[in-house]
Chain A
């Protein structure tokens, strides 16, 4: 081993976001040659806790696994239970679920779109992106009742409804978001300092993306057009047209562009939903019984494919709830993205997979 080889610890406190993960990096000079990921700092035993609570309490518990994709957890959990019990949810409820999901996706993507400039030191764009995102937070607060945890889903439907007035308000807010979003997209595409720090950095080639089974924007930035909303439609997605954003280069810049395009696509999907949504009931009107059985359901969370597995035994408490979150395959791919790049690029590479540590370690 040459004299200039040494190990440096990154984390576990405040690596990119305020979430703990510990990297042991082998560097040669300033170049990363290998890494070791050490996780488990925020393990709270939530999967075990779901087996101590009844199906309805778990709606709230699963929503609190993570904050940015909080809606997808109870959403997928409900889909798994509905599949298990053979429940058909009302059509209006499917649309309302889709609207809530896409609003969360815009807010989540705009957060990461702000974080990438923040990591490379472009803090004024970060502030601007967060200010633009604030309109989505206001939307969530006034339509759903909370800035992060929407509490939308319930077994057999949704717990909210939107009036014509609220529908107009959503359309207006989204219309006002379009211009700043286009502006941010243009800045990200053309700004020399952003491109210098993100283009050709943290490259994940297509073959490696397949080998590591990455999902979500990370996969789509490496040229894999895999989007659960398209390949395996759930909720109202089979009635909508969704165009997944795909980039070919697989670098940090591509992942940023994929998120920018997806945020714009989400606006389009919500407008479609509000236009097509039929009148009707939003829930079953009773609390369904969940029979014994097992089921699996998946959805496209802002970070990628989220899979829920549920096994029940006829009691009000599930026998097993297990989920696989998108960050799990994505952070393994850091083993490909990091070696060969400089120490200064590490945080932007980690930030580009939009890691959700609290989901992954639950």
Chain B
């Protein structure tokens, strides 16, 4: 028992280990997985994040006017597991260390991260298509970028161009 009094005494001198949270901010470590942000410019709408999401928090759907892809993360059903970020080929999706997710009941269905991945017309045929983001272009074609503008073409046109020209001629 004497031994434990030493511990108690030490803890009294040390003061409380807790913080008065709402009145005092608790800094979050860099790696903490919190609210998701989505960078629509880097997104290639590959739906991989939607595929791995266990909670079904991520929805990617073509917009009603067919001009782009609506990307929605519903934070209330997100488990902050980070699989979407891990498997995202361009790291367009990122879990920030913002853990402040308290909100009123009335807002529960609006508590989302919503972005719009805009389609661009194909430079050959003009058909709207999801552009390959610069991050993806860099991964595929390297730092030099995409010389022949293949990333701005729809898959059909891309195939035609490659068939005509061949890969080695560029």
Q: Within the assembled complex, what's the spacing in Å between the Cα atoms of A151 and B32?
A: 11
Please, which residues of chain B bring their CB within 8 A of the CB of A58? 54
List residues 189-226 of chain A with CB under 8 A from any CB of chain B: 190-193
The answer to whether A60 and B83 touch across the interface, beta carbons within 8 angstroms, is yes
B81 cross-chain contacts in A, Cβ below 8 A: 59-60, 63, 149, 151
Q: Is the CB of B86 within 8 A of A154?
A: yes
Is the Cβ of A57 less than 8 Å from the Cβ of B8? no
Q: Mark A115-135 against chain B: 1 for CB-CB distance below 8 A, else 0.
A: 000000000110010010010
* CB <8 Å contact, B86 and A159: yes
B111 located at the interface, meaning its Cβ lies under 8 Å from any Cβ of chain A in the complex: no
A289 contacts which chain B residues (CB < 8 A)?
A: none
A151 touches B31 (CB 8 A): no
Which residues in chain B, 1-36, are within 8 Å of chain A measured between CB atoms?
A: 1, 3-4, 7-8, 11, 17, 28-33
Which size class do A's interface residues fall under? 20 to 34
* B115 CB within 8 Å of chain A: no
- Interface size bracket, B side: 20 to 34
In angstroms, how far is the closest chain A Cβ from the Cβ of B136? 16
B79 at the A/B interface (Cβ < 8 Å)?
A: yes
Q: Which residues of B contact A186 (CB under 8 A)?
A: 3
Q: Which residue of B lies closest to A61 (CB)?
A: B54
Is the C-beta of B129 less than 8 angstroms from some C-beta in chain A?
no
Taken together as a complex, chains A and B put the C-alpha atoms of A124 and B7 apart, in Å, by: 10
Interface residue ranges of A132-165 to B (CB < 8 Å): 134, 141-146, 149, 151, 154, 159
Is the C-beta of A54 less than 8 angstroms from some C-beta in chain B? yes
A145–B82 contact, CB under 8 A? yes
Chain B residues positioned under 8 Å from A128 (CB to CB): 7, 11
List A contacts of B54 (CB < 8 A): 53, 57-61
Contact B11 A151 (CB under 8 A): no
| Residues 51 to 88 of chain B near chain A (Cβ within 8 Å) | 51-55, 79-83, 86-87
Contact of B29 among A53, A61, A131, A141 (CB under 8 A): A141
Closest beta carbon of chain B to A183's beta carbon, Å: 7
Contact indicator A57/B52 (Cβ below 8 Å): yes
The answer to whether A145 and B31 have CB atoms under 8 Å apart is yes
Q: Chain B residues with Cβ under 8 A from A187's Cβ?
A: 3-4, 7
- Chain A's closest residue to B31 (CB) is A145
List chain A residues, Cβ under 8 A from B30. Answer: 142
Pairwise interchain contact B87-A142, C-beta atoms closer than 8 A: no
Among A125, A159, A287, point to the contact of B4 (Cβ < 8 A): A125
Known A53-B54, A128-B7, A128-B11; contact A59-B31, beta-carbon cutoff 8 A: no
Listed A/B pairs (30) with beta-carbon separation below 8 Å: A54-B51, A54-B52, A58-B54, A59-B54, A60-B81, A63-B81, A64-B79, A124-B4, A124-B8, A125-B4, A131-B11, A141-B28, A141-B29, A142-B29, A142-B30, A142-B32, A145-B31, A145-B33, A145-B95, A149-B80, A151-B33, A159-B82, A159-B86, A183-B7, A187-B4, A190-B3, A191-B3, A191-B4, A193-B1, A287-B87
Closest 5 CB pairs of A and B: A60-B54, A142-B29, A57-B54, A56-B52, A60-B81
Please name 8 further chain A to chain B contacts, defined as beta carbons within 8 Å, in addition to the given A146-B80, A149-B81, A187-B7, sorted by A numbering: A54-B51, A57-B52, A58-B54, A141-B32, A142-B30, A142-B32, A149-B79, A287-B87
